[in-house]
Chains A and B, each alone.
Chain A
């Protein structure tokens, strides 16, 4: 199993550009989430999905869109990047009450 994979590992954007962070898991987990990690703030939930076709907002959803067309994939879209979105982004998946598995993270810088 590859676990949770994320691409890219690093990205630099200019203000106003759009991009998609890719996330995939091969563990047949129904639950997938996106978090952002900022210094001193821990991991904050952006969006999550409890299964294909179902998504919901987390604590900090503004400026981000998600979709879940398959169980395996959960991409995160930045529609118009802003410097406040400079952060490290983690995708994660889990099944029920079990351990949550994390991808390696994407370091995004918005200039």
Chain B
């Protein structure tokens, strides 16, 4: 079974600084999809970034980028120029395309003004 591990229950960052959230996963498959979702206090799940395992290039979306290390089964999220609105729970997730999304337990990010 596939598993996703987020080893940092809580993180904090100063406004305008950079923070990296860690995620590791376990699978024996070679083709899969990785995601980072943001959950603000409103509870809505918002997709931050998506990575396909067959793509070597790391995905980026504005201030958000990932460091995808396939051999190490690592998928960390870097948030640059952190803003107060970035404060939320962040979930790393994984699926094989035709399987359900499996989530890590989440990292709560606080942004300090």
Contacts and interface: CB of A to CB of B under 8 A. Distances in A.
Interface of A: 31, 33, 35, 40-45, 48, 50, 58, 88, 90, 92, 94, 96-97, 99-100, 102, 104-105
A33 B100 contact: yes
Interface string B81-113: 000000000010101011011111110000000
Contacts, number: 46
A42 B33 contact: no
Contacts of B102: 45
A35 to B, nearest CB: 8
A94 B43 CA distance: 19
Interface of B: 9, 33, 35, 43-45, 47, 50, 52, 91, 93, 95, 97-98, 100-106
A40 B105 contact: yes
A35 B106 CA distance: 15
A110 B95 CA distance: 31
Given A33-B100, A92-B45, 9 more contacts: A35-B103, A42-B91, A42-B104, A44-B103, A90-B45, A99-B47, A100-B95, A100-B101, A104-B43
A50 B98 CA distance: 8
